[in-house]
A and B are shown apart, each in its own frame.
Chain A
Amino acid sequence: EAGVAQSPRYKIIEKRQSVAFWCNPISGHATLYWYQQILGQGPKLLIQFQNNGVVDDSQLPKDRFSAERLKGVDSTLKIQPAKLEDSAVYLCASSLGVGTLAKNIQYFGAGTRLSVL
Protein backbone atom coordinates (compact mmCIF):
# COMPACT_ATOMS: atom_id res chain seq x y z
CA GLU A 1 0.00 0.00 0.00
CA ALA A 2 1.42 3.37 -0.99
CA GLY A 3 1.90 5.86 1.83
CA VAL A 4 1.14 9.56 2.04
CA ALA A 5 3.04 11.42 -0.66
CA GLN A 6 4.24 14.99 -0.21
CA SER A 7 6.14 17.33 -2.45
CA PRO A 8 8.45 19.09 -2.58
CA ARG A 9 10.71 17.64 0.11
CA TYR A 10 12.57 20.90 0.58
CA LYS A 11 11.85 24.50 -0.26
CA ILE A 12 13.85 27.65 0.33
CA ILE A 13 12.21 31.03 -0.22
CA GLU A 14 12.67 34.61 0.84
CA LYS A 15 10.27 36.32 3.21
CA ARG A 16 7.19 37.80 1.58
CA GLN A 17 7.31 35.21 -1.21
CA SER A 18 4.59 32.62 -1.73
CA VAL A 19 4.92 28.86 -1.48
CA ALA A 20 2.65 25.85 -1.96
CA PHE A 21 2.87 22.29 -0.73
CA TRP A 22 1.11 19.27 -2.17
CA CYS A 23 -0.18 16.13 -0.49
CA ASN A 24 -1.64 12.91 -1.86
CA PRO A 25 -3.17 10.82 0.93
CA ILE A 26 -3.49 7.07 1.14
CA SER A 27 -6.16 5.83 -1.24
CA GLY A 28 -9.54 5.58 0.43
CA HIS A 29 -8.66 7.81 3.38
CA ALA A 30 -11.44 10.29 3.92
CA THR A 31 -9.67 12.51 6.44
CA LEU A 32 -6.63 14.63 5.67
CA TYR A 33 -4.58 16.77 8.05
CA TRP A 34 -1.88 19.41 7.69
CA TYR A 35 0.55 19.98 10.54
CA GLN A 36 3.34 22.46 11.16
CA GLN A 37 6.36 21.13 13.06
CA ILE A 38 8.88 23.71 14.23
CA LEU A 39 12.32 22.37 15.13
CA GLY A 40 12.31 20.88 18.62
CA GLN A 41 8.53 20.89 18.93
CA GLY A 42 5.74 18.45 18.31
CA PRO A 43 3.49 18.75 15.26
CA LYS A 44 0.77 21.40 15.50
CA LEU A 45 -2.49 20.76 13.67
CA LEU A 46 -3.26 23.49 11.13
CA ILE A 47 -6.30 22.13 9.34
CA GLN A 48 -8.36 18.95 9.09
CA PHE A 49 -10.50 17.94 6.11
CA GLN A 50 -13.20 15.31 6.01
CA ASN A 51 -13.52 14.48 2.31
CA ASN A 52 -13.48 17.97 0.77
CA GLY A 53 -14.99 19.82 3.74
CA VAL A 54 -13.08 21.59 6.51
CA VAL A 55 -13.61 20.04 9.96
CA ASP A 56 -11.16 22.14 12.00
CA ASP A 57 -9.05 25.10 10.95
CA SER A 58 -8.95 26.87 14.30
CA GLN A 59 -5.14 27.01 14.38
CA LEU A 60 -4.63 28.01 10.77
CA PRO A 61 -3.31 31.61 10.43
CA LYS A 62 -5.91 32.52 7.86
CA ASP A 63 -4.39 35.88 7.01
CA ARG A 64 -1.54 34.12 5.23
CA PHE A 65 -2.27 30.39 5.11
CA SER A 66 -4.86 28.68 2.94
CA ALA A 67 -5.61 25.08 2.11
CA GLU A 68 -7.91 23.19 -0.17
CA ARG A 69 -8.67 19.57 -0.85
CA LEU A 70 -9.41 19.00 -4.49
CA LYS A 71 -12.31 16.61 -5.04
CA GLY A 72 -11.74 15.10 -1.61
CA VAL A 73 -8.41 13.53 -2.55
CA ASP A 74 -5.24 15.63 -3.06
CA SER A 75 -4.64 18.74 -1.00
CA THR A 76 -2.51 21.87 -1.25
CA LEU A 77 -1.38 24.18 1.52
CA LYS A 78 -0.32 27.69 0.58
CA ILE A 79 1.50 30.41 2.46
CA GLN A 80 1.26 33.94 1.08
CA PRO A 81 3.27 35.95 2.05
CA ALA A 82 5.77 33.89 4.03
CA LYS A 83 7.40 35.13 7.23
CA LEU A 84 10.64 34.05 8.85
CA GLU A 85 8.70 32.27 11.61
CA ASP A 86 7.04 30.01 9.04
CA SER A 87 10.30 28.06 8.74
CA ALA A 88 9.28 24.54 9.74
CA VAL A 89 8.44 21.10 8.43
CA TYR A 90 4.92 20.84 7.03
CA LEU A 91 3.48 17.39 7.50
CA CYS A 92 0.47 15.89 5.82
CA ALA A 93 -1.38 12.95 7.35
CA SER A 94 -4.44 10.93 6.44
CA SER A 95 -6.78 8.53 8.21
CA LEU A 96 -9.69 6.35 7.22
CA GLY A 97 -12.15 8.77 8.76
CA VAL A 98 -14.53 9.06 11.63
CA GLY A 99 -16.27 6.28 13.51
CA THR A 100 -14.18 3.82 15.45
CA LEU A 101 -10.95 4.95 17.03
CA ALA A 102 -9.01 2.73 14.67
CA LYS A 103 -10.20 4.97 11.86
CA ASN A 104 -8.59 7.96 13.58
CA ILE A 105 -5.08 6.49 13.43
CA GLN A 106 -3.06 8.84 11.27
CA TYR A 107 -0.47 7.99 8.65
CA PHE A 108 2.05 10.73 8.00
CA GLY A 109 4.03 11.73 4.96
CA ALA A 110 7.73 12.59 5.18
CA GLY A 111 6.97 16.31 5.18
CA THR A 112 8.21 19.39 3.35
CA ARG A 113 11.01 21.31 5.03
CA LEU A 114 10.52 25.04 4.45
CA SER A 115 13.26 27.58 5.06
CA VAL A 116 12.28 31.24 4.88
CA LEU A 117 15.28 33.57 4.54
Chain B
Amino acid sequence: SQKIEQNSEALNIQEGKTATLTCNYTNYSPAYLQWYRQDPGRGPVFLLLIRENEKEKRKERLKVTFDTTLKQSLFHITASQPADSATYLCALGQDMRFGAGTRLTVKP
Protein backbone atom coordinates (compact mmCIF):
# COMPACT_ATOMS: atom_id res chain seq x y z
CA SER B 1 0.00 0.00 0.00
CA GLN B 2 1.06 3.60 -0.51
CA LYS B 3 2.99 5.10 2.35
CA ILE B 4 4.25 8.63 3.00
CA GLU B 5 6.70 9.30 5.81
CA GLN B 6 7.95 12.63 7.03
CA ASN B 7 11.04 12.66 9.20
CA SER B 8 10.69 12.91 12.92
CA GLU B 9 7.52 14.29 14.29
CA ALA B 10 9.38 17.35 15.61
CA LEU B 11 12.53 19.21 14.65
CA ASN B 12 14.17 21.86 16.83
CA ILE B 13 16.85 24.14 15.44
CA GLN B 14 18.59 27.38 16.33
CA GLU B 15 17.72 30.63 14.60
CA GLY B 16 19.92 31.26 11.56
CA LYS B 17 20.53 27.58 10.84
CA THR B 18 19.15 25.63 7.89
CA ALA B 19 16.20 23.36 8.57
CA THR B 20 15.94 20.24 6.42
CA LEU B 21 12.71 18.27 6.35
CA THR B 22 12.27 14.93 4.60
CA CYS B 23 9.35 13.36 2.80
CA ASN B 24 9.75 9.71 1.75
CA TYR B 25 7.17 7.65 -0.07
CA THR B 26 6.69 4.07 -1.25
CA ASN B 27 4.49 2.30 -3.78
CA TYR B 28 3.67 5.57 -5.48
CA SER B 29 4.87 7.55 -8.51
CA PRO B 30 3.48 11.07 -8.16
CA ALA B 31 3.75 13.42 -11.11
CA TYR B 32 4.38 16.24 -8.67
CA LEU B 33 4.77 17.00 -5.01
CA GLN B 34 3.74 19.97 -2.92
CA TRP B 35 4.83 21.42 0.41
CA TYR B 36 2.42 23.22 2.73
CA ARG B 37 2.80 25.07 6.01
CA GLN B 38 0.21 24.70 8.76
CA ASP B 39 -0.02 26.86 11.87
CA PRO B 40 -2.07 25.78 14.92
CA GLY B 41 -5.78 26.28 14.35
CA ARG B 42 -5.31 27.18 10.70
CA GLY B 43 -5.59 25.40 7.39
CA PRO B 44 -2.49 24.47 5.37
CA VAL B 45 -0.93 27.18 3.21
CA PHE B 46 0.73 26.32 -0.10
CA LEU B 47 4.48 26.94 -0.31
CA LEU B 48 6.03 25.15 -3.29
CA LEU B 49 5.21 22.65 -6.02
CA ILE B 50 7.83 20.55 -7.81
CA ARG B 51 7.27 18.32 -10.82
CA GLU B 52 8.77 14.85 -11.28
CA ASN B 53 11.10 16.13 -14.02
CA GLU B 54 12.42 18.98 -11.86
CA LYS B 55 15.33 18.38 -9.53
CA GLU B 56 15.11 21.55 -7.51
CA LYS B 57 12.81 24.52 -6.91
CA ARG B 58 13.52 27.68 -4.96
CA LYS B 59 11.45 30.49 -3.50
CA GLU B 60 13.18 33.08 -1.34
CA ARG B 61 14.65 31.15 1.64
CA LEU B 62 12.90 27.92 0.66
CA LYS B 63 14.30 25.12 -1.49
CA VAL B 64 12.73 21.82 -2.47
CA THR B 65 14.36 18.84 -4.15
CA PHE B 66 12.61 15.84 -5.67
CA ASP B 67 14.43 12.55 -6.28
CA THR B 68 12.09 10.08 -7.98
CA THR B 69 14.72 7.34 -7.82
CA LEU B 70 15.09 7.60 -4.06
CA LYS B 71 11.36 8.42 -3.76
CA GLN B 72 12.23 11.35 -1.58
CA SER B 73 11.74 15.10 -1.36
CA LEU B 74 13.81 17.40 0.82
CA PHE B 75 12.54 20.77 2.01
CA HIS B 76 15.07 23.32 3.19
CA ILE B 77 14.58 26.61 5.01
CA THR B 78 17.79 28.64 5.07
CA ALA B 79 18.54 31.36 7.63
CA SER B 80 15.62 30.09 9.71
CA GLN B 81 13.65 32.48 11.92
CA PRO B 82 11.33 31.90 14.90
CA ALA B 83 8.46 32.92 12.57
CA ASP B 84 9.19 29.78 10.53
CA SER B 85 8.01 27.65 13.45
CA ALA B 86 5.04 25.61 12.18
CA THR B 87 4.11 22.16 10.92
CA TYR B 88 5.23 21.41 7.37
CA LEU B 89 3.33 18.91 5.26
CA CYS B 90 4.20 17.24 1.99
CA ALA B 91 1.40 16.25 -0.38
CA LEU B 92 1.83 13.88 -3.30
CA GLY B 93 0.20 13.92 -6.68
CA GLN B 94 -3.19 14.92 -7.90
CA ASP B 95 -4.98 12.90 -5.24
CA MET B 96 -3.20 15.02 -2.60
CA ARG B 97 -2.00 12.33 -0.25
CA PHE B 98 -0.50 14.12 2.74
CA GLY B 99 2.21 13.03 5.09
CA ALA B 100 1.66 13.45 8.83
CA GLY B 101 3.85 16.53 8.90
CA THR B 102 6.94 17.66 10.77
CA ARG B 103 6.60 20.23 13.54
CA LEU B 104 9.49 22.68 13.23
CA THR B 105 10.51 24.91 16.13
CA VAL B 106 13.12 27.59 15.54
CA LYS B 107 14.60 28.88 18.79
CA PRO B 108 15.99 32.40 19.09
Quick check: B98 and A44 within 8 Å, CB to CB? yes
Quick check: B99 and A42 within 8 Å, CB to CB? yes
Interface residues of A (CB under 8 A from B): 4, 33, 40-45, 56, 91, 93, 101-102, 104-111
- Distance from A99 Cβ to chain B, minimum over Cβ atoms (Å): 12
Quick check: A91 and B96 within 8 Å, CB to CB? no
* Docked CA distance A117–B42 (Å): 23
Residue B76 lies at the interface, judged by CB distance under 8 Å to chain A: no
Considering the complex, give the chain A residue whose CB is closest to the CB of B96.
Answer: A45
Please encode chain B, from 39 to 66, with 1 for each CB lying within 8 Å of some chain A CB and 0 for all others. Answer: 0011111100101000000000000000
* Docked CA distance A45–B32 (Å): 17
How many B residues touch A, CB cutoff 8 Å?
A: 22
A-B pairs with beta carbons under 8 A, tally: 45
Considering the complex, give the chain A residue whose CB is closest to the CB of B90.
Answer: A42
- Distance from A56 Cβ to chain B, minimum over Cβ atoms (Å): 7
| Contacting residues, chain A, for B91 (C-beta < 8 A) | 42
Residue B94 lies at the interface, judged by CB distance under 8 Å to chain A: yes
| Contacting residues, chain A, for B44 (C-beta < 8 A) | 43, 91, 106, 108
Considering the complex, give the chain A residue whose CB is closest to the CB of B4.
Answer: A42
| Contacting residues, chain B, for A91 (C-beta < 8 A) | 43-44
| Contacting residues, chain B, for A111 (C-beta < 8 A) | 42-43
Sample of 17 more A-B contacts, CB < 8 Å, known A43-B98, A108-B45? A4-B43, A33-B96, A40-B9, A41-B100, A42-B99, A43-B96, A45-B95, A45-B96, A56-B95, A101-B32, A101-B51, A102-B49, A105-B34, A105-B46, A106-B44, A107-B46, A111-B43
